[in-house]
């Protein structure tokens, strides 16, 4: 087994933390523990987004670097009389990645292990076997014999349900497999950017933010940005890796290990051209690899942040990731480290005049 270094230990702690939308406390506590040594002040908004402030020049522009704390998961909605649990998805799920997967129900009496089940294919008509099982026909089996037994174990409607997966360093040690890369990797980037700036002069005030409820509508991004009122913002998240079998370059062109993704366009935002050009020019100056991408069917926290007050120049910088919105996703450590390096170098140059030029040119 690979010995975990300081960075891998942080990434394991972040991804192991349980936190579906509306239940981000455990993930927030982990992020706070890691970012606090590099921040001058830690606050939250009223929904629970974590805001770590680091002052370079207190009269300089405000720069927001936001990753979201929440992960896709489920919520218990009913317990039937045999002790099986009905649930609601919280965030986007594809039914084909869910069946027979292990989950953890977080109750007031402690964690309870379950598995997602459905009617077995052996008793289905031939036509039904050809179709994916609808999520509404799935349930969670915790091994209880009755509703009363499940309740004795602490299970009740509203409880959070989280995918279960063990953080794993692959044989190629650059490849990291875990649940919740979407988007604990963004939280890790925010932590490490503040860490990089610890002893550096920077002509601005930087906010490393862990937002809540991104997966259900970019909600914490909206409230935290309203509190910060940033002048420039970066949404850091995962993107689509286009390097697995069956994906054409027309569908997704990014490859793991070839640099962070600069998002040109997504369903929530057209990226700010001046900021985009400034970031890619900085990457070129420092020989930091990057890739362009566009995601017609998704969005990031930048989509809510850029509409704050009278508008915020914003850009999404993402990490090409395989198998997002499932129990286990994979990304490349170099992409993460290059994203941290790039955002750090950009922030060092974002003084008042530069931000004004980016905004109004």
Per-residue confidence in pLDDT tens, the chain, 361 aa: 578 999 999 999 999 999 999 999 999 999 999 999 999 999 999 999 999 999 999 999 999 999 999 999 999 999 999 999 999 999 999 999 999 999 999 999 999 999 999 987 777 777 777 888 999 999 999 999 999 999 999 999 999 999 999 999 999 999 999 999 999 999 999 999 999 999 999 999 999 999 999 999 999 999 999 999 999 999 999 999 999 999 888 888 899 999 999 999 999 999 999 999 999 999 999 999 999 999 888 889 999 999 999 999 999 999 999 999 999 999 999 999 999 999 999 999 999 999 999 998 7
Looking at the fold, whether 132 and 236 belong to one and the same domain comes out as: no
Catalytic residue positions, numbered: 214
Looking at the fold, whether 57 and 96 belong to one and the same domain comes out as: no
Domain extent for 133: 74-163
Looking at the fold, whether 192 and 267 belong to one and the same domain comes out as: yes
Task: Give dist(CA 146, CA 357) in Å, integer.
Answer: 65
Count of other CB atoms within 10 angstroms of residue 205? 21
Looking at the fold, whether 54 and 131 belong to one and the same domain comes out as: no
Buried b (16+ CB within 10 A) or exposed e, 3-26: eeeeebebbbbbbbbbbbbbbbeb
| pLDDT at residue number 295 | 85
Domain boundary among 163, 195, 230: 163
Looking at the fold, whether 45 and 115 belong to one and the same domain comes out as: no
Helix, strand or coil for residue 151?
helix
The CATH number of whichever domain residue 87 belongs to comes to 2.40.30.40
- Predicted structure pTM score: 0.96
Looking at the fold, whether 146 and 288 belong to one and the same domain comes out as: no
Task: Give dist(CA 344, CA 350) in Å, integer.
Answer: 10
Number of domains in the chain: 2
The CATH number of whichever domain residue 233 belongs to comes to 3.40.630.10
Which is it for strands 160-163 and 139-141: parallel, antiparallel or unpaired?
unpaired
Looking at the fold, whether 116 and 255 belong to one and the same domain comes out as: no
Whole-number Cα distances in Å, 123 to 86, 120, 136, 141, 325: 21, 6, 18, 19, 29
- In which element (H, E) is residue 42 found? strand 41-44
Task: Give dist(CA 357, CA 278) in Å, integer.
Answer: 10
Looking at the fold, whether 284 and 234 belong to one and the same domain comes out as: yes
Looking at the fold, whether 199 and 271 belong to one and the same domain comes out as: yes
Classify residue 310: in a domain, yes or no. yes
Q: What are phi and psi of 129, to 5 degrees?
A: -65, -20
Token pair 């990434």 in the structure block, residue = 11
| pLDDT at residue number 1 | 57
Distance of CA 137 to the CA centre of its chain: 28
Classify residue 172: in a domain, yes or no. no
Classify residue 171: in a domain, yes or no. no
Task: Give dist(CA 56, CA 164) in Å, integer.
Answer: 40
- For the chain, the maximum distance between any two Cα atoms, rounded to a whole number of angstroms, is 69
Sheet holding 175-178, edge to edge: 168-169, 175-178, 329-332
């Amino acid at each position: 087994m690979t010995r975990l270094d300081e960075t891998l230990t942080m990434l394991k702690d972040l991804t192991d933390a349980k936190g579906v939308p509306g239940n981000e406390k455990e993930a927030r506590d982990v992020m706070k523990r890691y970012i606090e040594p590099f921040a001058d002040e830690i606050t939250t908004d009223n929904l629970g987004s974590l805001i770590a402030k680091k002052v370079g020049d207190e009269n300089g522009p405000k720069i927001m670097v936001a990753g979201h704390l929440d992960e896709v998961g489920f919520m218990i909605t009913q317990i039937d009389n045999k002790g099986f649990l009905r649930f609601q998805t919280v965030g986007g799920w594809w039914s084909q990645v869910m069946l027979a997967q292990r989950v953890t129900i977080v109750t007031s009496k402690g964690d309870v292990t379950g598995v997602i089940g459905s009617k077995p294919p052996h008793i289905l008509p031939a036509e039904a076997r050809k179709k994916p099982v609808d999520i509404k026909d799935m349930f969670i089996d915790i091994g209880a014999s009755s509703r009363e037994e499940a309740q004795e174990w602490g299970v009740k409607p509203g409880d959070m349900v989280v995918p279960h997966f063990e953080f794993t360093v692959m044989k190629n040690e650059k490849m990291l497999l875990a649940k919740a890369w979407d988007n604990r990797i963004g939280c890790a980037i925010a932590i490490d950017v503040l860490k990089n700036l610890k002893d550096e002069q920077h002509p601005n005030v930087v906010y490393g933010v862990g937002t809540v409820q991104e997966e259900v509508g970019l909600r914490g991004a909206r409230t935290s940005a309203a509190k910060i009122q940033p002048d420039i913002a970066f949404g850091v998240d995962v993107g689509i890796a286009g390097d697995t079998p069956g994906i054409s370059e027309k569908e997704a062109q990014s490859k793991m290990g070839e640099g962070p993704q600069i998002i040109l366009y997504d369903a929530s935002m057209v990226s700010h051209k001046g900021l985009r050009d400034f970031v890619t020019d900085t990457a070129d100056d420092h020989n930091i690899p990057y890739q362009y991408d566009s995601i017609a069917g998704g969005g990031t926290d930048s989509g809510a942040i850029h509409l704050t007050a009278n508008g915020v120049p914003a850009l999404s910088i993402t990490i090409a990731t395989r198998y997002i919105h499932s129990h286990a996703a994979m990304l490349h450590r170099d992409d993460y480290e290059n994203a941290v390096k790039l955002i750090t170098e950009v922030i060092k140059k974002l003084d008042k005049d530069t931000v004004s030029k980016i905004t109004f040119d």
